[in-house]
Amino acid sequence: MKPRPRRPNPKPPPGPPVELAIESMGGEGDGVAAGPVFVPFTLPGERVRAQGGGERRELLEVLSASPERVEPPCPHFQACGGCALQHWAHEPYLAWKVERLRTTLARQHIETDILAPFAAAPETRRRVTLHARRGDRNAARVGYKARKSWDLVDISACPISDPAIQAAIPAFRRLAAPLFEHPKSAPSLHVTLTDTGIDIDITGVEAKSGGLSADARMQLAERAAEADFARVTLGGEAAYMIRAPQVRLGPAVVALPPGAFLQATREAEAAMTAFVGEAAAGATRIADLYCGVGTFTFRLAEIAPVHAADFAAPAVQALTAALAGAPGLKGVTAEARDLVRRPVLAEELRKTDVAVFDPPRAGAVEQTAELARSGVARVIGVSCNPATFARDARTLIDAGFRLERVLPVDQFLWSPHVELVGVFQR
C-alpha cells in the first residue's frame, strides 16, 4: 500500500532522487538503507525513491511497500512533527520497541526477563502540549510544530488524544486569541484532562513588558468560562478557575497544582501502578522517591508505611493535602527535597526494605548510588528513558542487585519513545 500523498516540504531537498532499499529501523523511527541513509516514513523491506544529501533523505515515493504498511489514521501525518510511525502495523511496531529496549539494556551488559508490553490505545492521551500562533481576534492558530521546523501545523484532529481534548480544539483556538499583545509572545497550552474537566497552564506569553493587560485577562477568563474549562493558569498563576482540577490516585483524590506531572494515559498509569504494587507486596516500609503528586504513593501506602520525596514542593503539598480523604493507608510522610543535591541517604533507608524511584529523563545517578549503598532488599525503577535506566541499573547490579523483570510501557503511541518499570532484587 502506498501512502497518501502528503508533502510536508513544498520544495524537495537538494540532490538527485535515488532508489534505496530499506533494511532496518533506526532509533528515531526512520527507515535505514545502506550507508547508512535514514529515510522517514519507510519500513524494512521496502524500496523507495528519496531525495537529499548526506545521511538524511526525504521520502518521495514508496516503490515497493512492506506488507506491514498501514494507512495512517491522522490527516496531519508527515506534516506534524509528533507521530513518526502511524504507517506501521501495530504488532511489528510494538515488537520493534521491545527489541530497542532489549538492545539498550544489552549495551550495559544487562539481560533480564522482558514481559509482554503494555500498549496504550488511540484516543487515550490525557496530557498534550499545543502551540499557538497569532490568528485573528477571535481565534488563534493552534497545533503542533511541523517536522524539522518552527512552523505550526494547525490541527483539526489528533487521534492520539482523548476525544474530550479533540472536541475542545476550537475552544483552545478562542482561548489563545487574546495572548498576542506582545510580538514576542509564542504561547504553549499545556492541556491536562482531569476527572473534573480540562486544566490548561499557559506558558510563553511575554512577561517583561508587564504580561497580559487587564482586558486580555478578562477575555481569557470569559473564553475559559464559555468552554467550561476547570482551570486556566498563566505560568502557574491563576487566570480562571471554576473547579479544582482533580484526579483519583488509588484511594485518594488529589487536587493538581498547575503544570503537575501525570502519566500520559490513565490506562498506562493503572497498569504501571498495579505492576509496582505487585512488586512491592510484602514490604514493611517503602520509600517512594520522585513521588510527584502520589501516582504510586497511595497504592504503596495500602501495603506498608511510605516515605515520599520529590523536588517539586507544590506536588508534595498536593499529595499531603489528599491524605486526609484517603482511607485504608498504612501511613505516609512526605517531604520536598532535591534528590540530586540531597538524595535520601543509605543511612536514612535503614528500616526501608522496598524503594521505588521514578526520575525525570536524566535518571537518578545520585539517588541510585545511595540505594546501592543501602540495605534495601528490593528496588523498583520506573523510567521514561531506557538509556539512563540502563546506566542506573548497572550501578545497582554492580552493588549486588539482579534485574529480575521489566515491563515495557508504550503510552506515547506512534512515537519512538518507550517507557518501562523494572524490578531489582538484592
Secondary structure of residue 138 in the 3-state scheme:
coil
Q: What's the CA dihedral at 122, 125, 126, 128 to 10 degrees? A: -130
* Options 83, 158, 291, 384, the catalytic residue: 384
Burial label, 53 (beta-carbon count in 10 A; 0-12, 13-18, 19+): exposed
Measured in residues, the chain has a length of 426
Distance, CA of 70 to CA of 34 (rounded, Å): 24
User: What are the grid coordinates assigned to 25, written together?
Assistant: 529501523
Write the CB contacts of 103 (distance below 8 Å, at least 6 apart in sequence).
none
Quote the longest CA-to-CA distance of the chain. Answer: 68
- Which phi and psi (to 5°) does residue 242 adopt? -110, -25
Paired strand residues for 88: 69
Residue pair 54/44 in contact by the 8 Å Cβ criterion: no
Question: Among 153, 238, 226, which Cα is nearest to 201's?
Answer: 238
Nearest 5 degrees, angle CA 263-CA 268-CA 272?
90
* Neighbouring C-beta atoms of residue 156, cutoff 10 Å: 11
CB-count exposure of residue 104 (10 Å: 0-12, 13-18, 19+) = buried
- In angstroms, the Cα distances linking 204 to 117, 132, 236 are 36, 10, 12
Residue 109 backbone class (left: φ over 0; alpha: ψ -120 to 50; beta: rest) = left
Q: What SS3 class is residue 20?
A: strand
Lookup: cell for 194: 482531569
AA identity, residue 272: M
Output the nine-digit C-alpha cell for 164.
474530550
The yes-or-no answer on residue 384 being catalytic is yes
Helix (H, G, I), strand (E, B), or coil: what is residue 119?
strand
> Comparing C-alpha atoms, which of 37, 34, 61, 58 is closest to residue 47?
61
As annotated, the active-site residues are 384
